[in-house]
């Protein structure tokens, strides 16, 4: 379990109904093979995935052609040392589940800082800042709270001249 997908997503992926999936998850939990995760880490992971993917999508109107994935490729190249990458506009997060929450936040800040810098290089300072502000406003209040708590504003600050 990756703590991101909901029961419906797991059901679809496994060609099961939501009821069947819920039953399986309940049984796995009852016998101790599945347990609930660290809720703070889950919120951090959800924030990161949503933020990075929304930033990626925000560049679509500026791409020529629109399906040009060069920006994501460059982010992946700069972040090759991290267990995180873009794959067709979606985040693939293979970070170690045993990482402490603050260590995970550090990795996510590195990735988002790189993403910000690459978007800035490709599309300019004004566009990346506008995209960043728009993405932040799109997040739920709970995820905006994660943004503040783990100091993700520094992603922008470390890229300003």
Go through 102-125 and write b for each residue having 16 or more CB atoms within 10 A of its CB, e for each that does not. Answer: eebbebbbbbbbbbbbbbbebbee
pTM to 2 decimals?
A: 0.78
CB contact at 8 A, 51 and 152: yes
Largest CA distance in the chain: 55
**Pairwise CA distance, residues 46 & 8, whole Å:** 16
**Structure token digits, residue 107:** 């990795």
What pLDDT does 71 receive?
Answer: 92
What pLDDT does 10 receive?
Answer: 87
What pLDDT does 67 receive?
Answer: 84
CB contact at 8 A, 126 and 120: no
Taken as a whole, the chain contains a residue count of 161
Residue numbers of the chain with a pLDDT score lower than 50: 160-161
Strand (E) or helix (H) holding 37 = none
CB contact at 8 A, 93 and 83: yes
What pLDDT does 4 receive?
Answer: 56
Q: In Å, how far are 43, 48, 108, 161 from 105, measured between CA atoms?
A: 11, 9, 5, 24
């Amino acid at each position: 379990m990756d703590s991101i997908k909901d029961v419906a997503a797991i059901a679809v992926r496994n060609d099961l109904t939501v009821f069947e999936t819920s039953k399986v998850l309940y049984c796995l939990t009852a016998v101790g093979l599945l347990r609930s995760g660290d809720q703070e880490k889950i919120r951090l992971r959800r924030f990161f995935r949503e933020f990075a993917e929304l930033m990626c999508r925000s560049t679509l109107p500026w791409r020529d052609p629109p399906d040009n994935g060069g920006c994501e490729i460059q982010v992946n190249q700069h972040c090759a040392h991290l267990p995180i990458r873009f794959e067709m506009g979606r985040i693939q997060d293979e970070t170690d589940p045993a990482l402490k929450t603050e260590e995970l936040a550090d990795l996510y800040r590195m990735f988002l800082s790189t993403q910000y810098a690459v978007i800035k290089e490709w599309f300019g300072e004004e566009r990346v800042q506008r995209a960043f502000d728009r993405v932040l406003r799109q997040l739920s209040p709970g995820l905006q709270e994660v943004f503040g708590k783990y100091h993700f504003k520094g992603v922008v600050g470390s890229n300003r001249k």
